[in-house]
Amino acid sequence: MQRLDDAAQMRALAHPTRLRLVGLLRTGGPQTAAMLGDQVDEAPGTISYHCKRLADVGFIEPAPELGTDRRERWWRAVAQHTSWDLADAFDDPDRMLAATALDRTVAQAYATEYAAFVDRAPAMGRDWVAASTSGDRGLRLTVDELRTLSSELQAVLDRWEGVSGHHEPGDGSERVNAVVQAYRSARS
pLDDT value at position 70? 76
pLDDT value at position 188? 65
Mean pLDDT of the chain: 94
- Residue ranges, comma separated, of all CATH 1.10.10.10 domains in the chain are 2-132
pLDDT value at position 123? 96
Task: Kindly state the average pLDDT of the residues 98-111.
Answer: 96
Q: Which fold has domain 2-132?
A: Arc Repressor Mutant, subunit A (1.10.10)
Model confidence at 96: pLDDT above 80: yes
Task: Kindly state the average pLDDT of the residues 104-115.
Answer: 96
Per residue in 3-56, pLDDT (tens digit) is 999 999 999 999 999 999 999 999 999 999 999 999 999 999 999 999 999 999
Residue among 56, 110, 38 nearest 47 (CA): 38
Q: State pTM to two decimals.
A: 0.88
Alpha carbon distance 90, 99 (integer Å): 10
Q: Would you give the end-to-end CA distance of the chain in angstroms? A: 35
Per residue in 116-147, pLDDT (tens digit) is 999 999 999 999 999 999 999 999 999 999 99
